[in-house]
Amino acid sequence: MTASFPPGFLWGAATAAYQIEGAAQEDGRTPSIWDTFSHTPGNVAGGDTGDIAADHYHRFRDDVRLMAELGLGAYRFSVSWPRVQPTGRGPAVRRGLDFYRALVDELLAHGIQPLPTLYHWDLPQELEASGGWPERDTAHRFAEYAGIVAEALGDRVETWSTLNEPWCSAFLGYGSGVHAPGRTDPVAALRAAHHLNLAHGLGAQALRSALPARARVAVSLNPGAVRALTRSPEDLDAQRQIDALATRIFTDPMLHGRYPADLLADTARLTDWSYVHDSDLAVIKHPLDALGINYYTPTVVSAATDNEPPRRDGHGASEHSPWPAADRVAFHQPPGDLTAMDWSVDPTGLYDLLMRFTREAPGLPLLITENGAAYEDKPDAEGAVHDPERIAYVHAHLAAAHRAITDGADVQGYFLWSLMDNFEWAYGYEKRFGAVHVDYATQARTPKSSARWYAEVARSGVLPTE
Ligand code: FCB
């Protein structure tokens, strides 16, 4: 059986600025927290940094041509805040904005719809020096920056996203410390989560006031597909607690204008949440035009027992948990084949999330803004890169998305993570998520077999039988 996707379905691929652009010190760009973090020994595998990355800043025209050859209808990228507004305050840098203007023009000239994300984790280092996301002012700085980018690109970009995966920014950045800025303070992480929510709301307002009425404002979250190990009340309670910290801490304020009562109770011994001001929730609930869902793998939890196996929540090794106040929760390896990240392959998690938000936010269009897998891809003797596992992964997840559409979910697009191999954060260049292989010594791009396969799906709108 083949599966046809609805007409107008967006077939895209995604990247993020720090992961591909390089040119870290060019044209007025100042360091972001990821420059500082990756240049600090011990933080990133192999000592890798994003200084050069895939050199996309200089090669974007070739990269857009490649996207067109691969039949992509849309491209999700992120705007580097310190390239556009160095230090995160004050006037914009023209050359920084010119890069994104040129990128967008190039995409449009090739019939590819641009979907910029304003924040994919590269906070200007100077804002971190003033306290970073745990401080309220950072949300206001973000809104100012959002307005600057909207003014510059608003005439040619229709669909915008404010933040990418604020969960990672807050809890990996300030909780477990495996991401920049590498702080390990659970209260700072909760404060960061709130100020990211506020940044989303203020940023959405700034976008709206600068953009034409037809523009769509979205956010990309990584809601958890959290499963309980057993149906025991204790395990179900662990699931509830992690669901609150992974998902509802963002979706409840954004969709319903409230923080979950159970989250406030679970974390009461750490914080009184007094940094949430009265008017904040109304701001955060700014109407969304689409919800972006990033999904890779599910999470399995139980209540902790005395002989706990090591925590395996797929978010890197740290003695500090990214889950504030959840020290009585144990994480388990979910069943299924593993990718090179040791993430289990389970497309039912994607289906479940699409159906959950279809029920929770009726009428809100959904976009799968990231999905994909890392494998140990190597060129063969002829230089070709065969990645049948990635094809199988994407196939299975597209089938799950199609099933959700059949069951009533308004899924309007799919963005493969990633267009090309790139700087995979704390894993450096070791993990390859690309449909296009990058040889970092020469910067040569080689479409893997998955890229050819995906191009055919995108061209036809039909998912073939496996
Ligand atoms: C997501 C990030 C993206 C990439 C993928 C593998 O959490 O948004 O930048 O690292 O994971």
- Say how many domains are in the chain: 1
Instruction: Dump pLDDT digits (tens) for 113-147.
Output: 999 999 999 999 999 999 999 999 999 999 999 99
pLDDT for 310 = 55
Q: Which residues contact 176 (CB under 8 A, 6 or more apart)?
A: 184, 315, 316, 318, 320, 321, 322
Please tell me which residue in 21, 106, 128, 165 is annotated as part of the active site: 165
SS (H, E, C) the chain: CCEECCCCCEEEEECCHHHHCCCCCCCCCCCEHHHHHHCCCCCCHHHCCCCCCCCHHHHHHHHHHHHHHCCCCEEEEECCHHHHCHHHCCCCCHHHHHHHHHHHHHHHHCCCEEEEEEECCCCEHHHHHCCCCCCCHHHHHHHHHHHHHHHHHCCCCCEEEEEECHHHHHHHCCCCCCCCCCCCCHHHHHHHHHHHHHHHHHHHHHHHHHCCCCCEEEEEECCCCEEECCCCHHHHHHHHHHHHHHHHHHHHHHHHCCCCHHHHHHCCCCCCCCCCCCCHHHHHCCCCCEEEEECCCCEEEEECCCCCCCCCCCCCCCCCCCCCCCCCEEEECCCCCECCCCCECCCHHHHHHHHHHHHHCCCCCEEEEEECCCCCCCCCCCCCCCCHHHHHHHHHHHHHHHHHHHCCCCEEEEEEECCECCCCHHHHHHCCCCCEEEECCCCEEEECHHHHHHHHHHHHCEECCC
Q: Say whether pTM exceeds 0.85.
A: yes
43: domain range? 2-464
Going from the Cα of 1 to the center of ligand 1, the distance in angstroms, rounded, reads 31
Other beta carbons within 10 angstroms of residue 307's beta carbon come to 5
pLDDT for 317 = 74
Going from the Cα of 222 to the center of ligand 1, the distance in angstroms, rounded, reads 9
> Is the minimum distance from the CB of 122 to ligand 1 under 6 angstroms?
no
Going from the Cα of 382 to the center of ligand 1, the distance in angstroms, rounded, reads 30
CA-proximal residue: ligand 1, atom 5 (nearest): 417
424 is catalytic: no
- For the chain, list residues with pLDDT below 50: none
165 is catalytic: yes
> Is the minimum distance from the CB of 135 to ligand 1 under 6 angstroms?
no
The residue among 283, 264, 284, 251 whose CA lies nearest residue 360 is 251
- Residue 227: what residue type? R
Going from the Cα of 167 to the center of ligand 1, the distance in angstroms, rounded, reads 11
pLDDT for 312 = 60
- Residue 119: what residue type? Y
Read off the CATH number of the domain in which 365 is found: 3.20.20.80
> Is the minimum distance from the CB of 295 to ligand 1 under 6 angstroms?
no
> Is the minimum distance from the CB of 168 to ligand 1 under 6 angstroms?
yes
pLDDT for 28 = 97
pLDDT for 293 = 99
The token pair that represents 458 in the structure block: 């995108």
